[in-house]
Structure 1
């Protein structure tokens, strides 16, 4: 993974990561199928026991002080291959907790490393979910989830394990209760003949799902370079992740 500014590699048996000499990171947390059943369309489905591994606060040793000062954190996640019943392997839907230091629910910037991803997002976890988007992204592409939106990360290819990195707020926290109260987000991804199709969750008001491809977030100064390398080149570049209030005007009518 040196192409992404970090000397690390991904393992799949078992799920996890190994770090180079100049990189620090935690032992990955493993999310099992039993832990995420409440967020699935079919909670009784069959699938890999270890669904995904997540390591938060991965960094080069020389960057740690700067990251802490800027309240930024870099996380890496890798998924198992396969399916969860008729659903693709995916994360639990959640909203980010409000950070005490900013008073905002932080945004999150994804970069796909391996496999194909669908970043699903909706404006609200409420009876009316507002605008709903499914952003299909491949290796090297970036997807930005705005503050306060419910979202989930979906593997779009059951045969190729998905791996991605993400910039987050250092006071990150995941809120699951609202999503679980609706038995998931407003749209369920299903695998049919190796394609992802969508089924509306009837607990929400009917609406429209917009399928889009990633765009260039030039208004935030993001370039095509790997996102960790962008931080190395300009440590202030991702300050909008931990301080979204400083770019409040850019979040109005945001389109992913």
Structure 2
């Protein structure tokens, strides 16, 4: 079998996202119908360096994953993830957050916030190796590889929930598609604000710094509590959300 990942001396096989797993969210539907079901990207879930690390990660209700997205074009659209939202934390109106870091290549992260069925904010981050991107509560997100390089990225996330793919599928993708000529609005959305471009940055409140491999947070894993209890950590999310 191909596409195994070596992580701290252990070999891991991926979950594979196929082209036709993405049928609802690809921009060029006529092109899609003519295509074979090829492999698009690879997800390696619940990684750890050793048994002690894995116990610590699980005990803190977290999960560390790696995703690899080779370069590809979906007709006129750059290859991307399917996109999803997170459910709300039980007892709160706030959804779970997620933290990404680019390990190799470059990533375009599209974040979108919906309120009462309407998109009220769209953020785009352009990130390179070492950069951190935090998806705040309330935001759906899609990762795009618009380069000719393979993108390899990691994420920390709470392990207690399943991601919500249907809200993006029902609207044929995110609020914007990234095509060869740039971003274009998805006409399935009735109202879409302009894109707000932001730069990746450090999160010193949590001891997170661009350029430092975020897996080392396993040594201070309590600092990732904002991913499990976002309602308790308004200092991490700044002015993006109201808690």
TM-score normalised according to structure 1 size: 0.83
| Structural mapping, 1:77-156, within 5 Å | 77-98=67-88, 104-124=94-114, 127-156=117-146
d(CA) in 2 for partners of 1:127 and 1:138? Answer: 32
Deviates more, 1:102-111 or 1:133-142: 102-111
Q: CA–CA distance in 2 between the matches of 1:17 and 1:98?
A: 32
User: Cα 1:156–1:213, aligned 2, differ >3 Å: closer, same or farther?
Assistant: farther
Distance 1:126 1:209 in 2: 19
The answer for unaligned runs of 5 or more in structure 1 is: 1-12
Partner of residue 52 from structure 1, selected from 37, 41, 60:
41
Show the counterpart of 2:159. 170
What is the CA distance between 1:128 and its match in structure 2?
A: 2.3
| Other-structure match for 1:8 | none
Cα offset, 1:148, TM superposition: 2.5
Mapped to 2, the partners of 1:113 and 1:67 lie a distance apart of: 20
Among 180, 183, 199, which residue is 1:198 paired with? 183
Call closer, same or farther: CA 1:115–1:103 in 2, change over 3 Å: same
Q: How far is the alpha carbon of 1:245 from its aligned partner? A: 2.0
Judged with a 3 Å threshold, the aligned counterparts in structure 2 of structure 1 residues 96 and 48 are, in CA distance, closer, same or farther, namely same
Q: How far apart are residue 253 of structure 1 and its match?
A: 2.9
Distance 2:161 2:180 in 1: 31
Which string of whole-angstrom CA distances, capped at 9 and with x for unpartnered residues, describes residues 70-121 of structure 1? 1011000001222111111110121023455988521111000111101100
- Residue of 170, 181, 185 corresponding to 1:181: 170
Going from structure 1 to structure 2, the CA distance change for 1:114 and 1:47 (only over 3 Å counts) comes to farther
Q: Distance between the aligned counterparts of 2:143 and 2:128, measured in 1?
A: 13
Structure 2 residue runs without a partner (length 5+): none
1:9 maps to what in 2?
Answer: none
Per-residue displacement from partner, 1:204-226 (whole Å, max 9, x unpaired)? 20321122221222343322321
Structure 2 residue corresponding to 1:254, chosen from 223, 237, 240: 240
Counterpart of 1:229 in structure 2 is: 216
The question of whether the paired residues in 2 share the 8 Å contact of 1:110 and 1:166 is answered with yes
Number of equivalent positions? 235
Comparing 67-76 and 41-50, the one that deviates more? 41-50
The superposition leaves residues 35-68 of structure 1 with CA deviations (integer Å, 9 ceiling, x where unpaired) of: 1121111234358811011011001112011111
- 5 Å matches for 1:69-84? 69-84=59-74
Q: How does 1:5-44 map to 2 (within 5 A)?
A: 14-21=2-9, 23=10, 27-43=13-29, 44=31
Root mean square deviation, CA, Å: 2.4
Contact 2:53 2:218 (8 Å CA) reproduced: no
